[in-house]
Chains A and B, each alone.
Chain A
Amino acid sequence: MPAKPEQDSAAVLPSDPETGIRLLFEKYHATIYNLCLRILDQEQDAEDITQDVFVRAFKAYHQFRAESSPGTWLYRIAVNLCLNRQRRLKYVRWLSLDVFADAFDTPPFESPDPGPDAQTEQNETGHIVRRALHALPDRQRTVLIMTRYDGLSYREIARILACSKASVESLLHRAKLNLAKHLKPYLDEL
């Protein structure tokens, strides 16, 4: 079961940075990796960002204050890095560097090709939802992923994104409306 940032709000980190980061890595790296993977939809990028999260946490280890949990802190670093990566990617596309852009392009909706077993069906279903998620604006997608897949509260997401709880609610509302629109072409085919 992946760790959630609120679970260790009272945690005290060891004074040795490497030991502390090692502990945080063991507890959170799978959660952070999956969060990055869902936001970026690219394995290599998710690996790079996950590593970067812990390297940055190490560099800023002594500046961490226990006002929030270490998990929230790591989430915040991860989300910021992912959103920055997405922003850079948009610049690449804007500059029409098609060689790079093609590698990241999301293909249009594909009709599902149901396989013989339930696992295949689940993979197809996951694929459809993932594609639809990836068509959302970055912040909407991030909020939706954090509530839906990581089970974070609005308050926690507001802390991670450094915005108000009302903004999170509004983002989430728009995200769900948009997601329904992006799922519609697939559902209409059924």
Chain B
Amino acid sequence: MTHRNIQNRLLLYLDDELPDRERADIACHLAQCSPCRSYLAELKRLWETEPAHRTPPSYLWKNVQTVIRGHAPGRTRPTGVGRLFPLLRPALMTAALIVGIAIGTYIGNLPETVASSENPVVSAEAGEILNASYLENFQDIPPESVDGIYLTGAVDE
């Protein structure tokens, strides 16, 4: 392990949260490496400093009391259908999304539908043209139309 790897694991080493083997490897490294020992000492100093315990401001209870005197406990939770509102909201959003997609799809198909209802003959022709434009019929290259050299790869010498 490199110095960096060792140093990154020293906090776990200090708290004795490493597997035995890894702990032994680090202890072995520390025995030979002075910079890592200094690093450990500094880390220990930082880690073991007792945190300052702050006293909360004295007006907190007054604020809490003011708020709770305006409320009756247990009456804020909605009852009946109201309780389902948190579940209904995502369901309604999903339903709205599905309706939106359905309307979009319907509008997207609308011109074709109108054409077919107004004039079925025109619409059939239009359909063929559309099909022809989309389904291009790639025929194999007739062998006689191309010089043999291109098909066989033979070169006259």
Q: Are the chains A and B members of one assembly?
A: yes
Residues of A within 8 A of B (CB): 2, 17-18, 21-22, 25, 29-30, 33-34, 37-38, 47, 50-51, 54-55, 58-63, 122-123, 125-126, 128-129, 149, 173, 176-177, 179-181, 183-184, 186-187, 190
The segment out of B56-64, B81-89, B108-116, B136-144 that lies at the interface is: B56-64
Q: Is the CB of A183 within 8 A of B43?
A: yes
The segment out of B25-33, B69-77, B93-101, B145-153 that lies at the interface is: B69-77
Set of chain A residues within 8 Å of B155, measured between Cβ atoms: none
Residues of B within 8 A of A (CB): 7-12, 15, 17, 38-39, 42-43, 45-47, 49-57, 60-61, 63-65, 67-69, 71, 73-74, 76-77
Contact of B64 among A37, A55, A181, A184 (CB under 8 A): A55
In the complex, what distance in Å separates the CA atom of A16 from the CA atom of B56?
25
Contact of B73 among A30, A62, A123 (CB under 8 A): A62
In the complex, what distance in Å separates the CA atom of A164 from the CA atom of B106?
49
Smallest distance from the beta carbon of A37 to chain B beta carbons, Å?
Answer: 6
Smallest distance from the beta carbon of A112 to chain B beta carbons, Å?
Answer: 10
The closest CB in chain B to the CB of A58 belongs to: B68
Q: Is the CB of A176 within 8 A of B17?
A: yes
Set of chain B residues within 8 Å of A18, measured between Cβ atoms: 65, 68-69
Q: Is the CB of B51 within 8 A of A149?
A: yes
The closest CB in chain A to the CB of B4 belongs to: A184
Known: A55-B68, A187-B43. Is A180-B9 also a contact (CB below 8 A)? yes
Set of chain B residues within 8 Å of A173, measured between Cβ atoms: 12, 17
In the complex, what distance in Å separates the CA atom of A2 from the CA atom of B56?
12
Q: Is the CB of A61 within 8 A of B74?
A: yes
Q: Is the CB of A184 within 8 A of B7?
A: yes
The closest CB in chain A to the CB of B49 belongs to: A125
Q: Is the CB of A176 within 8 A of B45?
A: no
Contact of A63 among B9, B39, B60, B74 (CB under 8 A): B74
In the complex, what distance in Å separates the CA atom of A170 from the CA atom of B6?
20
Smallest distance from the beta carbon of A169 to chain B beta carbons, Å?
Answer: 9
Known: A54-B64, A62-B74, A129-B46. 18 other contacts (CB 8 A): A18-B68, A25-B60, A25-B64, A29-B60, A34-B54, A50-B60, A51-B67, A60-B74, A62-B73, A63-B74, A63-B77, A129-B49, A173-B12, A176-B12, A177-B11, A180-B12, A184-B7, A187-B46
Q: Is the CB of A177 within 8 A of B9?
A: yes
In the complex, what distance in Å separates the CA atom of A173 from the CA atom of B55?
30
The closest CB in chain A to the CB of B8 belongs to: A180
The closest CB in chain B to the CB of A36 belongs to: B56
Set of chain B residues within 8 Å of A183, measured between Cβ atoms: 11, 43, 46
In the complex, what distance in Å separates the CA atom of A22 from the CA atom of B56?
15
